[in-house]
Amino acid sequence: MRDTHYISSAILDLATISTILQENKRIALSEESRLNINASRAYLDDKIEGNSKPFYGINTGFGSLCNVAIKNEHLTQLQENLMRSHACGTGDYVPKSIVKLMILLKVQSLSYGHSGVHINTVERLIDFYNLDILPVVYTQGSLGASGDLAPLAHLSLPLIGEGMVWEGDEPAFAKAILDKHNLSPITLKSKEGLALLNGTQFMVAYGLDALLKCHKLSYLADMIGAISIDAFNCNLSPFDPLVHYVRPHRGQIKTAERIQEFLADSEIAKTEKENVQDPYSFRCIPQVHGATKDAILYASNTFKTEMNSVTDNPNIFAAEDKIISGGNFHGQPLALALDFLAIAMAEIGSISERRTYQLISGLRDLPPFLVDNPGLHSGMMIPQYTAASIVSQNKQLATPASIDSIVSSNGQEDHVSMGANAATKLHKVVENIETILAIELLNASQALYFRAPSKTSPFLEAIISAYRTEVPFATIDRVFSTDIHKTKAFMNSIQVDKDMIFS
């Protein structure tokens, strides 16, 4: 029996989202949300009944056609035409996990009672979520300004029995899948199409998916970095709390504390060192990893605000008797956070690759390329090439999307955020970081072997022992691509307490 998460005004945070997804919870509307949605719809119906006053997107055209009046008998057609005309996405398919998160976020935004949608529309979105009826959505098409129009159009079309949804790993016609579940297409009422299409749920879903991974990758970067510290026989003095209390950035202090915890009781760390100082990629882990932690925290706070917000337009305020056309769908706060996060995560990859480079350089009593009989065997030479190529790609992907803008809708929408492009770029950066860290773990564990009989900390010895069951020590050359893929799978299998990664 699946547990249920009730949509309400209670604040959603990353830990809650993580729990909903990991435990595959069903979602349902709370009584509070039902009252909010019904009151908003009743107010809107009453407001437009026999009223010739123009309300944007309710009884007018859209974008630069906002001054074209639409008769009441055409309001359903207006909303359906909106969804059809805006469903012009292209590019790759959005991953199904992100599509499902988009549905959850759209339901949350509509639940506050400022969108004027009918309860049946929200309930059908909930059906989609609970039954895994996941629309086919494309990565390209959103400017991140009037909300994510094209992606959300593809997300919403199946509500009226059109568009495509996933059947296993193949796209299928939505109407056929609805029939399988004995679900009839809904009939949109005034404003509903606009409420469904306006919003930032594409950007937010991508951002939350990335943030959930970034928090864990930040932890893993510290852990793998700690293995590299002992593998390269580094000093622990740069992690002394005194150093960080005189420059008390939150992430820096947290990183230094975590490194010391990982290396507690390490035999290697306790040995006397000939090297007075270590390269920056080891010595400055608290400063570099810490700065990324602070960027992750900034992005997390931005996205926490956004997923607890109303982002369609116009907004309905029944108690104040106002329908206000504004700009809450504009993705600028998200675009900046997404770009910042991409830059910050790219730096985690950059410093990781430098540690890998140092480990294979034949320094500090380690053999060149971490293999016996180098020359006959290339050892870890080429995995570093791979890491370097990915780091270079990340530099390109980290170029901010938010500094760009392009005019659309006949000049009505003349400044856009490009947050959707920032979101999809970040998705690739995060995927790349996982690979770069996997290559460092492959190299650091290999290097640690040559420190025997001295051992690292009991905690890290246990990690390496578990890792060796998946990726054995390389005595001779082999296909290291297989090792990298297995290392990524091992990293994904590591369970980290939410209090440790989200605090």
Please identify every residue annotated as catalytic. Answer: 56
- The full length of the chain comes to 503
Q: Which residue, among 278, 337, 284, 282, has the nearest Cα to 306 in the 3D structure?
A: 337
In 126-262, where do the E strands start and end? 138-140, 164-167, 170-173
Q: CA 135, CA 156: separation in Å to the nearest integer?
A: 8
Cis check for the bond before 314: say yes or no (omega within 30 of 0).
Answer: yes
Contact yes or no for 291/252 (Cβ under 8 A)? yes
Count of Cβ atoms closer than 10 Å to residue 77 Cβ: 12
The Cα 464–Cα 494 span in angstroms is 12
Cβ 454 vs Cβ 230: under 8 Å: no
**Helix (H, G, I), strand (E, B), or coil: what is residue 60?**
strand
What is the DSSP annotation of 75-141? HHHHHHHHHHHH---EEEEPPHHHHHHHHHHHHHHHTTS-S---HHHHHHHHHHHHHT--B--EEE-
- Distance, C-alpha 237 to centroid of its chain: 35
Amino acid at site 164: M
Closest CA to 410 of 64, 85, 142, 149: 64
Q: Select from 393, 405, 288, 402 the least CA-distant residue to 338.
A: 402
Residue 501: what are its φ and ψ, rounded to 5°? -95, -25
Q: Are 59 and 116 in contact (CB under 8 A)?
A: no
The residue type at 380: M
How many other β-carbons are positioned within 10 Å of the β-carbon of residue 258? 24
Query: DSSP class of residue 377?
Result: B
